[in-house]
Amino acid sequence: MKIANGNYPSINEIADRYLKSGAGSGSAASVKEDRTFAEILADKRTSLNEASGLNFSKHAAERLSSRNIELDQKQLERLSEGVSKAEAKGIDNSLVMVDELAFIVNTSSQTVVTAMDSTETKNNVFSNIDGAVIA
């Protein structure tokens, strides 16, 4: 059943336009539809690890991916510097703040355990940390 009100397309027309493979000219949906979420997540973790020299846990990579948080090279460098400062001070589990982002990092393994954006840090309560660095 096709329902069209004025200039508004029907749900079927929208589905045909955006969800069917081969439709469109290389849209993101048609290009990436054969990749699983696990594959995309693994690619994201690898690129973050290579760019920063830090390891990103599966949980941290999922948080970044699900919230569409993209770290630029400068932010990754600041994060890495913050982890180095925390490690130099003997902090094992550190909160590292970069702009509006908060990262919990295990300094001994150089692993980002979790990542939060400003919407999740409203309560300003962080537990299980030994210290904090504002990078």
SS3 26: coil
83 occurs within a structural domain: yes
Kindly tell me if the per-residue pLDDT of 27 is higher than 50. Answer: no
pLDDT of residue 101: 92
Q: 110, 55 in Cβ contact below 8 A? A: yes
Q: How far apart are CA 2 and CA 12, in angstroms?
A: 7
Q: Which two tokens stand for residue 63?
A: 């948080």
Tokens representing residue 124 in the block? 């300003």
**Domain membership flag for residue 1:** no
Q: Using DSSP, state whether 43 is helix, strand or coil.
A: helix
Q: Judge whether residue 70 has pLDDT over 80.
A: yes
The token pair at 109 is 């393994």
pTM assigned to the model:
0.63
Q: Is residue 2 part of a domain?
A: no
Count up the domains in the chain and report the number: 1
Specify the long-range contacts of residues 73-77, CB closer than 8 Å, at least 24 apart: 75/99, 75/101, 76/48, 76/51, 76/52, 77/52
Domain limits for position 110: 11-19+21-134
- 5 in a structural domain: no
**Residue in 91, 98, 132 with CA at minimum distance from that of residue 115:** 98
* Model pLDDT for residues 81-130, shown as the tens digit of each residue: 999 999 999 999 999 999 989 999 999 999 999 998 877 766 778 888 99
State the DSSP code for 9.
P
Whether residue 4 lies inside any domain: the answer is no
Q: Within a domain: residue 71?
A: yes
